[in-house]
């Protein structure tokens, strides 16, 4: 199968670690920009596109008709959707496929899909023959504002998220608003989870902006969310300091997500992050960082917009605590959190006593 990709309404060109890369946002015309980008850089080299079966069904038909010169002969690699594909076994199968198809160090891999595709594809590309170029073309709101930006790539292991991976930037990110038309509401809400996180860690007026953000997805809001993540990751690419603020909601969130997925519960990453933010806000109150009123206002708004309470009812405190011990941010026996409080400010490397963490979990799980 032969494929193609994106165009420009807004462009951000940044220079990170002495390596400039392009980020473009717009509608279907962004596909034309991508075609030109690939033609300029890889006209004489192998082009590969990584998709999942959802992308193949819903996204490729939107771009096939363009018959773009530099992408129509690309080899398409397809994986199944879901966290099951974000594994070392699937990673190895993709490496073998690239070898069989004659990929070399001048090849380029285009990751067309959501966060799982960009995480997996980025890891494949950053390790194949010690690194080949890759381009992210996110097709979900979550991937547009989060997973495709910042250079974190990896796979899960041992039932725990993101235990194996790399920091490696794409050469380009092409964000086409048109792909949002393919998404169910649950996936749109997943992306809102990360956009809300970006607001709460960076904007003191976040609470007054939440309703406007959630009313409809706008390209300007996507661009603002991307800009927040870019600013933070430019300052601290390898997460030794300021970038840890982006982990707000993710310490509890990753443990909750891993547990529920292991039980066959269909929860999105963004929903798990929202749950994590609510729990971590309570933790912040317990530690005197966030006011009760800020915590309650945020909680009331989230519960009014997102159906999360049914997920909380399915959690087991002991299992979530066990999974927290695998969080890669931990040092020693204490779990490390990034906590908002007051809103617009985020403290990193906060390590509460275990009894406080267990107490907060019990408030939500019972």
- The three-state secondary structure class of 80 is coil
Between residues 4 and 276, the one the model is more confident about: 276
pTM: 0.89
What's the number of CA atoms in the CB half-sphere (13 Å) around residue 214? Answer: 20
221-272: per-residue pLDDT in tens? Answer: 898 899 999 999 989 999 999 999 999 999 999 999 999 999 999 999 999 9
In whole angstroms, give the CA distance from residue 283 to residue 261.
Answer: 24
Q: What is the mean pLDDT of the chain?
A: 90
Cβ neighbourhood burial of 58 (10 Å; 0-12, 13-18, 19+)? middle
Nearest to 72 by CA among 4, 154, 146, 122: 4
169-190: per-residue pLDDT in tens? Answer: 999 999 988 899 888 889 999 9
17-60: per-residue pLDDT in tens? Answer: 335 688 998 887 888 889 999 999 999 899 999 999 999 998 88
Q: Residue 175 has what pLDDT?
A: 93
Section 125-137 average pLDDT = 97
Those residues with Cβ within 8 angstroms of residue 70's Cβ, 6 or more apart along the chain or in another chain: 35, 36, 38, 39, 42, 43, 47
Q: Are 94 and 77 in contact (CB under 8 A)?
A: yes
281-311: per-residue pLDDT in tens? Answer: 999 999 999 999 999 999 999 999 999 999 9
- The domains located in the chain, with CATH, are 10-182 (3.40.50.1970), 185-216+237-365 (1.20.1090.10)
Angle between helices 185-202 and 219-235 (to 10 degrees): 50
**Cα angle vertex 270, ends 267, 271, to 5°?**
50
Q: Residue 351 has what pLDDT?
A: 95
Q: Is the pLDDT confidence value at 7 over 50?
A: no
Nearest to 23 by CA among 119, 144, 183: 144
Q: Are 112 and 139 in contact (CB under 8 A)?
A: yes
**Cα angle vertex 68, ends 108, 74, to 5°?**
35
């Amino acid at each position: 199968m032969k494929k193609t990709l994106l165009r420009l309404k807004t462009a951000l060109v940044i220079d990170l670690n002495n390596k400039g890369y392009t980020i473009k946002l717009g509608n279907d015309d962004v596909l034309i920009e991508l075609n030109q980008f690939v033609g300029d850089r890889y006209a004489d080299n192998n082009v590969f596109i990584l998709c999942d079966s959802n992308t193949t069904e819903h996204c490729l038909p939107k771009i096939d008709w363009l018959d773009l010169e530099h992408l129509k002969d690309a080899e398409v690699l397809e994986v199944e959707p879901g966290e099951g594909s974000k594994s070392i076994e699937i990673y190895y199968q993709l490496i073998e496929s690239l070898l069989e198809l004659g990929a070399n160090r001048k090849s380029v891999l285009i990751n067309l899909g959501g966060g799982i595709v960009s995480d997996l594809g980025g890891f494949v590309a950053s390790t194949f023959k010690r690194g080949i170029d890759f381009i992210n073309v996110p097709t979900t709101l979550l991937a547009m504002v989060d997973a495709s930006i910042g250079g974190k790539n990896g796979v899960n292991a041992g039932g725990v998220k993101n235990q194996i991976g790399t920091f490696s930037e794409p050469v380009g990110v092409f964000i086409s608003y048109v792909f949002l038309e393919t998404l169910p509401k649950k996936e749109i809400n997943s992306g809102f989870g990360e956009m809300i996180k970006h607001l709460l860690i960076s904007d003191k007026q976040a609470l007054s902006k939440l309703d406007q953000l959630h009313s409809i997805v706008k390209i300007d809001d996507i661009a603002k969310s991307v800009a927040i993540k870019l600013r933070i990751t430019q300052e601290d690419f390898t997460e030794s300091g300021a970038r840890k603020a982006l982990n707000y909601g993710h310490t509890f969130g990753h443990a909750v997500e891993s547990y529920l997925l292991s039980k066959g519960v269909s929860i999105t990453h963004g929903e798990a992050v929202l749950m994590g933010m609510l729990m971590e806000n309570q933790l912040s109150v317990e530690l005197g960082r966030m006011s009760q009123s800020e915590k309650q206002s945020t909680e009331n708004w989230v519960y009014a917009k997102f159906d999360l309470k049914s997920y909380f009812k399915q959690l087991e405190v002991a299992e979530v605590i066990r999974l927290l011990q695998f969080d890669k941010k931990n040092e020693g026996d204490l779990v490390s959190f990034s906590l908002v409080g007051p809103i617009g400010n985020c403290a990193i490397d906060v390590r509460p006593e275990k009894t406080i963490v267990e107490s907060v979990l019990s408030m939500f799980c019972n």
